Amino acid sequence: MTAVEAPGRVARPGAAPEAAPRAPAVVGRNLTKAYGLSARQAARALGRPDPEKAVADEGGFLAAHDVSFSIRRGEMFVVMGLSGSGKSTVLRMVNLLNEPTAGRLEIEGEDITQVSEARLRELRNQKIGMVFQHFSLFPHRTVRDNAAYGLKVRGVAKAERRERADAALHRVGLGDRGDKYPHELSGGMRQRVGLARALAVDPPILLMDEPFSALDPLIRRDMQDLLLQLQAEDARTTVFVTHDLNEAMRIGDQIMVMRQGRVVQCAPGPEIVAHPADGYVSEFVADVDRARVLTAHDLLRPALLTLPVREDPGTALRRLGENEATGAFVIDRDERLLGVATDGRLLEAVRRGDPDLARAIGQEYHAVEPGTVVGDFMHLAGRQVVPVTVVDEQGRLTGVVPRAAILSSLSHVREAGR
């Protein structure tokens, strides 16, 4: 599960430490694609107030309209939407398999809509790997030759090609299948070959067009695990298209939701579930397993009552009474959580005449980290006097997750005021 929590934050081994994040890896600016129109027709139609209708009137189809995004280096960027929402169109603009009708696309700051054919081929070969929905392997080549295809196009010598292809196959768990033909493999294995073909050229950017949607659910989950594992090792900038929200939530750092060629919302997964931008997105997220998406951080509330450890038990007891609470967190000078003081134990300390609050605290609480998903701690809610406690890596008390917050987050009712 560690890989799931923070796949994009693991540094690429051997990569130079970057002082400040450089330019984003991929930037799309106002990308628009109208199919079936000449350049002049398209320019005219797109200038109208209602371009979608204007394009349709000309006999074309507006597949993507005014799509802008920015993908950070090493980020897993998921483009999500139903079929026909323009997500594959946008993906294919990144390597210009689809030429945008309007707009710019920048790879590491270079606008690829303006480059020469030769430079474009070079960019495709060296910077952008791609994995396809129906695998699209070359059926007349062995698995190894499939994996080596990008290197062959690059002109790498045969021996090195073979070595690197085998290394890529090994990474996806097919080290021993190099001599097979694609039709001798199962669907899941074929997509592993597809992945190896993209990895063999070691591109800084990976495009994945619904790569797992043709696979059955168990295999799909395996493949997601494989991808997350590879991503934890490489931290490759990845654009991943899917129509499956659970998949998007599971693997994506950022999720861009598209509808009818437009961007509806672009945000991290939990944010989309917690605050859908409109009715369309909230319909979309209605089916998502919220317990696996929302984290303690998303439900965080400030702790109502904290007691500094230097306070004496009598004062502490009085403050409990004022707040109508039966227990409170005790923190030290650096806000580190020491434990919980309950009214019973405080009363006992006062009777004993013990002036040190530290001796009146117990450990009757459950601490979780901010990144823990709700599903992993919801069973703990309500077992203790104090709510589920969120503690950061340094042991500081960040806040609490009350039982009511857990319940309302799992129900589909949007909370007022959030």
Partner 1 sequence: MIDLRIGERGEDVIGYMTDHLGGLFDAVKEVLNFCLRSVYDVLTTLTPVAMVVVLCLVALAATRRIGLTLVLGAGLLLIQSMDLWTETMQTMTSVIVAAFLALLIGIPLGVWSAFSPVARAVLRPVLDLMQTLPVFVYLLPTILFFGVGDAPGLVATVVFSIPPAVRLTQLGINQVDQETVEASRAFGASRRETLREVQLPLALPSIMTGVNQVIMLALSMVVVAGLVGGSGLGGVVVNAVQGLQIGASIEGGLAVVVIAIYLDRVSAALGGQGRGNPAWWPQRRARGAVAPARADESALPNAA
212 in contact with partner 1 (CB under 8 A): no
The letter for the amino acid at 393 is E
- Asked if 387 and 381 count as a contact pair (C-beta separation under 8 A), the reply is yes
- When binding is defined by CB under 8 A, the residue of 41, 68, 70, 126 that contacts partner 1 is 126
| Among the residue ranges 120-128, 234-242, 276-284, 348-356, the one whose residues contact partner 1 (CB under 8 A) | 120-128
What is the separation, in whole angstroms, between the first and last Cα of the chain? 29
178 in contact with partner 1 (CB under 8 A): no
Residue among 49 and 217 whose Cβ is closer to partner 1: 217
Closest contact distance (angstroms) between CB of 233 and partner 1 is: 22
E-state strands within 260-305? 262-267
- Asked if 145 and 214 count as a contact pair (C-beta separation under 8 A), the reply is no
* The two structure tokens encoding residue 147: 């994996």
Tally the C-alpha atoms within 13 A of residue 65's C-alpha that lie toward its C-beta.
23
- When binding is defined by CB under 8 A, the residue of 214, 267, 291, 300 that contacts partner 1 is 214
Residue among 41 and 306 whose Cβ is closer to partner 1: 41
Task: Kindly give, in sequence order, each residue whose CB lies less than 8 Å from that of residue 42, ignoring residues fewer than 6 positions away.
Answer: 34, 55, 58, 60, 101, 102
H or E stretch including 313? helix 313-322
- Asked if 206 and 168 count as a contact pair (C-beta separation under 8 A), the reply is no
Closest contact distance (angstroms) between CB of 112 and partner 1 is: 13
What is the total count of residues that contact partner 1 (CB under 8 A)? Answer: 35
Closest contact distance (angstroms) between CB of 194 and partner 1 is: 8
125 in contact with partner 1 (CB under 8 A): yes
Alpha carbon distance 289, 300 (integer Å): 19
| Among the residue ranges 55-63, 150-158, 287-295, 380-388, the one whose residues contact partner 1 (CB under 8 A) | 150-158
- When binding is defined by CB under 8 A, the residue of 58, 70, 104, 132 that contacts partner 1 is 132
Task: Give the interface with partner 1 as residue ranges (CB under 8 A).
Answer: 92, 95, 97, 121-126, 128-130, 132-140, 149-150, 153-154, 181-184, 187, 190, 197, 201, 207, 214
